Amino acid sequence: MSRTAVETSEFFMRMEEFGFFDTVQEHLPEGFTLIYEIARILEDQQHAMARALAPVLMLEDTSVVERDRSHVVPTIIDAEQYEADLIRSVTEVQQIYPYQFLLPENVFLQRLAERSLWMPRPHAPHNFRYQTESDRFAPDDRKQKVYILFDTSSSMRQHYRIHLAKAIAYLFLKQNQRELGTIFFRTFDLSIGELKTARNVADYDWLISDVMHLTSLGNGTVLQKALQTALEDISHESQLSQAQILVITDGVAHIDPDSLKELMGEHTIVNTVKIGHSRMHIDSKIIEDQIYHSKSAEAARMKELIRQKRDVESDLSRASGHMRQESLRSQISLIQRQIDTLTERIAGEVTEHYGMEIRRLSSVYVEVDDIPAPELFSFPEAKVAELEQLASDLLDVLRDEHQVEDIKRAAILYDHLYLLMEYNKTDAPRLERYAKDLEQMLDHILNKPGTAAEDVSISDMERLQLRNMMEGGVSAQAFSLGRLLRVLRMRLTRRLRAWQQLRLLRIITGKDGRRR
């Protein structure tokens, strides 16, 4: 019963979806398991953030053809679809397109001899059958195509924003599996990340794991360039027509919506999730640049007033009479007041909208608060009891047998408990008890000689290294979970090779080969 409870637990199933068991790295991203806790918050339909994100977490595309999985695709005869083709024999001359009979006789006969006359040839129609009957990712040219732009700027380190962004990306992909076709993905900060594409189930799972393991965070947010790159990728991919771009960012960055709308065309849409409420500082230089480059009516009026003022000032420099000079000075004063009033109005609009133009470009724009630490790490009694029961079940499993997957589960749960203890002081004593039990179990498994063939056998040097890693626990940053898993995988590979060699020996010698 304990094994079933462990293998079907939500925590370990999510860790598997995050690629934890398949991807072994020297260092996991900081707070790797926090994505699980944030995803749980976002899946609570009563939570304010979940309600706010609802418009972007589920696809709404009216162009997607409604598909009934119970519908049987009918057999369509070849003659219902045609394509132009050259004749292949003289006997097909009666089926050529009629206009060719108007050709001069010598030209007609020459083309007949060369088999260069055109005819409509029947062919088998394209039949879009379902690739799978499950809810797993199944690309289809008729499905919604999605291009995710993921902000990895350094500001994402603040307030667990990178973890929230990963949870949003994960839930978007998981909740829309049946509706998604090809998926494109790029990160952006001061530069644009490598293009990653998912076109099948294996790519789809790999992409989720890759997003969960993102660690590199850079400076700057080149949103304009990121959007241009995405639109260029879409324009070069014929199957990505009517694509949807999802931007996940925490920053403010000035873009030119008009130029981007021209690249978007009529069918590509942009949806945006902005994390946090940061705003860009606006100075006089930005306002001047906006007036100079803007094509708005107010900017045009401002340029006209500035031109008038310069003309009047030029007239004043040449005026000789006192009355004429006073009249020109009065005009300059009036124009300057108009310029000041218009500048104040434009400055107000620039201050409100500059760096937030993505809102005008987006069909759906959602701005969410940062998740406060007390909410993220404070659990109801049922949640604490669930963690305690999971740790208890896992300890029971490890007392019976030492499978590598179970050791990985113990390592990640141990890591998660220590992470929670660092912030959740209320429940820390209860969590610490099971964290120490898991630590002792891991230490026992990794530091005693293997006594059975199915046991995890690790060399003395490896045991010494792992013991040094685990001293002090996660809170002291002495335990590298990635290194532990790397050693386990190396040892598992060696065991597999030894088993293969033993099996080959049995085949050659005809003997059992086991020690008696």
User: What does the pLDDT read at residue 464?
Assistant: 46
pLDDT at 12: 93
Q: Say yes or no: 102 and 247 in one domain.
A: no
Whether residues 109 and 241 fall in one domain = no
Identity of the highest mean pLDDT range in 110-119, 235-244, 440-449: 110-119
Residues 271 and 300 in one domain: no
Note whether residue 145 is domain-resident: yes
Do 384 and 316 lie in one domain? The reply is no
H/E stretch holding 167 reads helix 161-175
CATH of residue 207: 3.40.50.410
User: By three-state DSSP, how is residue 514 classified?
Assistant: coil
- As a whole number of angstroms, the distance between CA 240 and CA 238 comes to 5
Task: Report yes or no on 366 lying in a domain.
Answer: no
Q: How far apart (Å, rounded) are the C-alpha atoms in residues 339 and 298? A: 11
Same domain? 151 vs 190 = yes
Cβ contact 475:435 at 8 Å:
no
In SS3 terms, 417-471 reads as: HHHHHHHCCCCHHHHHHHHHHHHHHHHHHHHCCCCCCCCCCCCHHHHHHHHHHHC
* Mean pLDDT confidence for 273-288: 72
Specify if 402 maps to a domain.
yes
Residue 202's domain spans which residues? 38-60+135-275
Tens-place pLDDT, residues 41-60? 999 988 889 999 999 888 86
pTM given for the model: 0.68
Alpha-carbon distance of 121 to 79, in angstroms, equals: 8
Q: Return phi, psi of residue 285, to 5°.
A: -65, -40
How is residue 21 annotated by DSSP?
T
Secondary-structure breakdown of the chain: helix, strand, coil percentages, each rounded to the nearest 5: 55, 10, 35
Q: Which of 43, 48, 55, 54 has its CA nearest to residue 362?
A: 55
Of 232, 247, 275, at which residue does a domain stop? 275
The reply to whether 218 falls in a domain is: yes
Structural domain count of the chain = 4
pLDDT score, position 30: 83
In a domain, 325, yes or no: yes
Q: Is residue 361 part of a domain?
A: no
* Residues 267 and 289 grouped into a single domain: no
In DSSP notation, 314-354 reads: HHHHH--SHHHHHHHHHHHHHHHHHHHHHHHHHHHHHHHHT
Distance CA 217, CA 219 (A): 7
Coil, strand or helix at 184: strand
Lowest mean pLDDT among 217-231, 367-381, 470-484: 470-484
The CA-CA-CA angle for residues 406, 407, 411, to 5°, reads 115
Same domain, yes or no, for 19 and 45? no
Distance of CA 69 to the CA centre of its chain: 28
- Amino acid making up residue 328: L
Q: What is the pLDDT of residue 471?
A: 44
In this structure, is residue 44 part of a structural domain?
Answer: yes
Tens-place pLDDT, residues 307-350: 899 999 898 888 888 888 888 889 999 999 888 888 777 777 66
* Residues 138-154, mean pLDDT to the nearest whole number: 83
Query: What CA–CA distances, in Å, run from 329 to 109, 315, 322, 339?
Result: 89, 10, 11, 15
In a shared domain, residues 268 and 297: no
Residue 461 corresponds to which tokens in the numbers above? 């040097």
For residues 141 and 91, membership in a common domain is answered with no
Does 130 reside within a domain? no
Residue 153: strand pairing partners:
218
Instruction: Give yes or no: residues 195 and 323 share one domain.
Output: no
Question: Which pLDDT score, from 0 to 100, does residue 487 have?
Answer: 54
Both structure tokens of 425 = 């002081």
